[in-house]
């Protein structure tokens, strides 16, 4: 793997759309909703620590509601995959508007000890074929990574605000009220 290119070609096995949990940022949610007309309450779910592995307890995106922890995720059916995976074509139905995490996967940024960009590599747990026939430029990946860092900071701020008001009976779906203007039909 390298600092300028990564050797990888997607063979559309749908591993990422079936087996990987996508944790969108509020910016991703807004982009999807605005470009598709989909109601976020339909395409989002809130997962507990028992339903998702590999996320540290100190991750700043854990929502606290009624004494439990939750992460906002794209809804996923265990058999058919992501809410937006087209059941007929088996391609992403929102490809141009998909979350940044989906755009970056299966690539992982490697940094120096000083926190500076070193290179990109493939995640260790990539469940699709690791086809090395393609060449992916790292500059666009790095630009997405920088954009995602800004979005993650905004997300952490919203979560902090949400978590400051924990009360009995609170549902994690109430988090959406911090960044969505939901207009009900008369």
Check if the beta carbon of residue 132 is closer than 8 Å to that of residue 6: no
| Of residues 118, 120, 126, the one with CA closest to residue 141 | 120
If phi over 0 gives left and psi between -120 and 50 gives alpha, with beta otherwise, what is residue 33?
alpha
Q: CA angle, corner 154, sides to 100 and 140, nearest 5?
A: 30
| H or E element that contains 156 | helix 138-163
pTM, full prediction: 0.87
CA distance 41 to 44: 6
Strand 44-47 relative to strand 63-65, pairing? unpaired
> Which domain, by its residues, includes 82?
5-165
In a domain, 177, yes or no: no
In the predicted structure, residue 39 carries a pLDDT above the cut 90: yes
The answer to whether residue 146 is domain-embedded is yes
Residue 71 predicted with pLDDT over 90: yes
CA distances from 12 to 91, 96, 134 (A): 8, 16, 13
- 180 within a domain of the structure (yes/no): no
Identify whether 185 is part of a domain: no
Chain segment 17-38, per-residue pLDDT in tens: 888 889 999 999 999 999 999 9
Look at the chain and report how many structural domains it folds into.
Answer: 1
User: Average pLDDT of 47-71?
Assistant: 92
């Amino acid at each position: 793997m390298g600092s300028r290119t990564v050797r990888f070609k997607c063979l559309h096995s749908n591993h990422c759309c079936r087996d990987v949990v996508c944790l969108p940022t509020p910016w991703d949610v807004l982009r999807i909703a605005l470009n598709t007309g989909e109601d976020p309450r339909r395409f989002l779910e809130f997962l507990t620590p028992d339903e998702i592995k590999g996320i540290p307890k100190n991750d700043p995106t854990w929502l606290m509601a009624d004494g439990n922890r939750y992460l906002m995720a794209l809804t996923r059916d265990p058999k058919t995959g992501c809410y937006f995976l087209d059941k007929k074509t088996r391609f992403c139905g929102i490809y141009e508007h998909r979350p940044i995490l989906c755009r970056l996967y299966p690539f992982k940024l490697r940094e120096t000890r000083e926190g500076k960009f070193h290179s990109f590599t493939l995640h260790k747990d990539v469940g699709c074929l690791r086809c090395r026939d393609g060449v992916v430029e790292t500059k666009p990946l790095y630009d997405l990574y920088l954009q995602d860092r800004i979005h993650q900071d905004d997300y952490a701020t919203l979560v902090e605000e949400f978590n400051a008001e924990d009360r009995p009976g609170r549902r994690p779906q109430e988090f959406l009220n911090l960044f969505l203007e939901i207009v009900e039909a008369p």
